[in-house]
Chains A and B, each alone.
Chain A
Amino acid sequence: NAGVTQTPKFRVLKTGQSMTLLCAQDMNHEYMYWYRQDPGMGLRLIHYSVGEGTTAKGEVPDGYNVSRLKKQNFLLGLESAAPSQTSVYFCASTPAGGRQPQHFGDGTRLSIL
């Protein structure tokens, strides 16, 4: 049982380049989330989805887009990367209802030069 899988694990981009981070979960969870983690800032919610075909903004959504075309996948896109987006990105999922704990992937470490 893989749980939550994130790809890629590491990536270096140049300012202005675009890329997509993939999150896949095999637990049939309804809710999925994208966070970024920066030193001293804790985990901050970027976007989330409460079901296939639905997305919503979190605390820090600017500069990011997301899509949830399939229930098991949640994509995070950076259209024009900026150095301020250098961070570690985590995906999480949880069953519908929201009282269950979120299950996290192992993160994507992204550097923007």
Chain B
Amino acid sequence: EDQVTQSPEALRLQEGESSSLNCSYTVSGLRGLFWYRQDPGKGPEFLFTLYSAGEEKEKERLKATLTKKESFLHITAPKPEDSATYLCAVQVAGGTSYGKLTFGQGTILTVHP
């Protein structure tokens, strides 16, 4: 069974204090790993897709990396506006996957000024 586990469940940082969020996955074959940001009362907003081990993507203060077993979302010098829930999801390889995603539980990030 495909599984995605995110850690920690919650993370509190001071503004400027860099850290990382983890997404561990167990799948039969990875087609893609997706990171989303979700603000309270809103739907998930797409951040990155990673397709193969060793791949990295960057956007402003965020950098996503991928290995064969996990992905990290590195946050450099975070600001209060980076506070949100960050979701990780995997798409399994296979002809009948139809783009389906399996999500982790999310990490709630709070950045204090």
| A residues lining the B interface (CB < 8 Å) | 4, 31, 33, 40-45, 48, 50, 56, 58, 90, 92, 94, 97-107
Contact = CB atoms under 8 A, between A and B. Distances in A.
B99 A31 contact: yes
A41 B100 contact: no
A2 to B, nearest CB: 13
B41 A106 contact: yes
B98 A31 contact: yes
A99 B41 contact: no
Contacts, number: 63
B6 to A, nearest CB: 8
B105 interface: yes
Interface residues of B, number: 25
B58 to A, nearest CB: 17
Contacts of B46: 101-103
Max count, chain A CB within 10 A of own CB: residue among B32, B97, B98, B105: B98
A43 B4 CA distance: 11
Contacts of B34: 101-102
B43 A42 contact: no
Identify whether the interface residues of A are mostly helix, strand, loop, or mixed: strand
A56 B99 CA distance: 13
A40 B99 contact: no
A106 B91 contact: no
A50 B43 contact: no
Contacts of B87: 42-43
Given A31-B98, A48-B98, A106-B43, A43 B103 contact: yes
A104 B101 CA distance: 13
Max count, chain A CB within 10 A of own CB: residue among B42, B97, B99: B99
B44 A41 contact: no
A42 B104 contact: yes
Given A40-B105, A99-B31, A99-B32, A104 B45 contact: yes
